[in-house]
Chains A and B, each alone.
Chain A
């Protein structure tokens, strides 16, 4: 499974946008980029995924670099409820392979 690299932690102010980066230089042409998040004491929760084009949904936006070697999850207005661990995952097979993720802290 191809590897992703994320910062260990990030901090944001409430009501401001957050850009969570992910590097995946060994991505293959068929790997989908998935993002999940895990709130304290909860199981992981799907956020968004994409292949080549940028994607938007009610939770977030996913910006994918043209060479697909990096991507950015964008939370448009962070709230305290967005404080969680965010995982960037390359899915090219039958399972999700999680890394350590980025701990997002949101300050009020």
Chain B
């Protein structure tokens, strides 16, 4: 297992278009997280899944954003009608369990540029 994988690494899209990102977590990790990071800031939490169930969504996740994890393995994050303010790095992370005593493993992220 090579770690958390995200695809694509870079995406340039025109304002108003829809985009979808994919995250493949480490095998058997039941927790999967999505974060967004803008330049000079720390990552901001968007949402997380326990297996296929989406258990928490940040207020940052507007109606244009939707995330799925249909079989409890890979996850997708879709942004509809993209805006320039959506330009950011989107990070995915996974972990073995929900406890405070566990570490999360992050992917390298998908950098979105909306023009």
Contact = CB atoms under 8 A, between A and B. Distances in A.
Contact of B100 (A45, A85, A92, A101): A92
Nearest to A96: B104
Given A94-B56, A95-B56, A46 B42 contact: no
Contacts of A91: 100
A105 to B, nearest CB: 15
Query: Which of A31, A46, A51, A99: most chain B Cβ within 10 A?
Result: A46
Interface residues of A, number: 25
Contact of B105 (A46, A93, A99): A46
B104 A31 contact: no
B67 interface: no
Contact of B43 (A31, A32, A51, A98): A98
Interface string B81-100: 00000000001010000101
Given A31-B100, A42-B108, A44-B43, A95 B33 contact: yes
16 contacts: A34-B103, A41-B108, A42-B108, A43-B93, A44-B91, A44-B104, A45-B106, A46-B104, A92-B100, A94-B48, A95-B33, A96-B33, A96-B45, A98-B43, A98-B44, A99-B42
Interface of B: 4, 31, 33, 35, 40-45, 48, 55-56, 91, 93, 98, 100-101, 103-109
